[in-house]
Amino acid sequence: MQTLLKETNAYRLLKAERDKNRLHHAYLLLLDDKRNLREAVKIFAKLLFFCEEADTPERARISSLIDGEVFSDSLVFPKTDKKFTVAETEDILEEISLKPIEGGKKVFLVADFAEATAQAQNKLLKVLEEPPENVFFLLGATSSYPVLSTVLSRTEKLEILPFTETQVGDCLRRLYKDKPFTQRELTLSAAASSGSVGTAQNILDGGYYKDLTQKAFELCSAGLSTLPIAVKKASDIKYKKEFLSFLKLVFRDAFLYKAETKDSSFRSVGEKYFVLPTERDKVRAVSENYSLSALLYAQEALTEAEKEVFFNANFPQCIEIALSKILWKNKSVL
């Protein structure tokens, strides 16, 4: 994960501002990866203490302490798997009055700040408006939308865009080099990750990619009359975000399959980019039921559904609306 993060513009920006002694007092690190957000915030914190390379015993020591969340001048909030609360804001306010122990700065890390209550965010607002000298904040968040506008206006945004499938796949191969996963499993998980390493890890660790694939094909094969039943059957799935990603994969491969059958010059390209090569017969069946324009439109409709689900919209309703739009698009063409 560290390798990926060091290649981002956000990382390079913070490093440049540090080297030029132009650090802002508060940063909002945006990374849509809940599983790895806490680690990412700590990796960025190392920049502020010049220990990102750990190339000397002292830097290695500080780097290790930050990783273990026991470095006296770098405090991490909230507790693992907990939400940032008003009580922890009060802890920060108390700590701010104390001088750094080892160096010239004190850094407060928060992940995931997007889950903090409005009360907790408001209580932290004053210190963000008038920060003490040599006190810095790194607020990690999976999204900026739940963060109060008043907080946003007082932080410098460091946004990490979704990684490419290749980047996620390479990262998985490094992370799981000693695990018995096949190349197909790694590739499929990377393709279904929407650019999030954490999502890909969840798919692999949970071993539920087969179930997601099966249910995605079943839903993609439903018609307007059978759609409500198919949606009801699929709606109890635990990993909703990943399921929508798998739906997009099925429609994407179906588009490639249909395109290659209509244009022989496209064949080698289509086969090269198949994510579900072992499911070719099922992909073919989906492609035969949809027009090219409907298969292409599916990406737009399902992306909109992903956004709605992110904001806690009703999951069954979102996927039924998305699939209905795709089916109606298909009907209008056929």
DSSP state of 32: S
**Across all residues in the chain, what is the average pLDDT?**
87
Rounded distance between C-alpha atoms, residue 227 and residue 233, angstroms: 10
Mean pLDDT for 208-212 is: 75
Nearest to 134 by CA among 158, 98, 109, 110: 98
Q: Which residue has the tokens 């599983």?
A: 35
Rounded distance between C-alpha atoms, residue 319 and residue 334, angstroms: 22
Task: Select the highest-mean-pLDDT range: 107-121, 183-197, 239-253.
Answer: 107-121
Nearest to 158 by CA among 140, 146, 171, 145: 140
Q: What is the pLDDT of residue 214?
A: 83
Give the rounded percent of residues in the chain with a pLDDT score beyond 70.
Answer: 93
Q: Which residue has the tokens 């022989």?
A: 264
One-letter amino acid identity for 196?
S
Rounded distance between C-alpha atoms, residue 334 and residue 147, angstroms: 45
Dmax over CA atoms of the chain, in Å, equals: 71
Q: Pairing mode, if any, of strands 74-77 and 156-159?
A: unpaired
Distances (CA, A) of 136 to 19, 28, 222, 315, 332: 16, 11, 53, 39, 56
Rounded distance between C-alpha atoms, residue 333 and residue 312, angstroms: 32
Residue-wise pLDDT tens digits, 278-293: 677 888 889 889 999 9
For 2-159, CATH number out of 3.40.50.300, 1.20.1630.10, 3.40.50.360, 3.30.830.10 equals: 3.40.50.300
Nearest to 300 by CA among 251, 256, 242: 251
- 298 and 282 Cβ atoms separated by less than 8 Å: no
- 209 and 203 Cβ atoms separated by less than 8 Å: yes
Rounded distance between C-alpha atoms, residue 252 and residue 279, angstroms: 13
- 119 and 84 Cβ atoms separated by less than 8 Å: no
Residue 183 clears pLDDT 50, i.e. is over it: yes
Q: What is the pLDDT of residue 270?
A: 46
DSSP state of 302: H
- 111 and 38 Cβ atoms separated by less than 8 Å: yes
Rounded distance between C-alpha atoms, residue 246 and residue 96, angstroms: 46
Domain parsing of the chain, residue ranges: 2-159, 208-333
Nearest to 65 by CA among 80, 81, 55, 54: 54
> If pLDDT is split at 50, 70 and 90, which confidence band does 269 have?
very low
In 3-state terms, what secondary structure has residue 25?
A: coil
* Fold that domain 208-333 belongs to in CATH: Zinc Finger, Delta Prime; domain 3 (1.20.272)
Mean pLDDT for 158-185 is: 90
> How are strands ordered across the β-sheet holding 135-141?
74-77, 106-110, 135-141, 26-30, 156-159
Can you give the pTM of this predicted structure?
A: 0.75
Residue-wise pLDDT tens digits, 54-84: 899 999 999 999 999 999 999 999 888 888 8
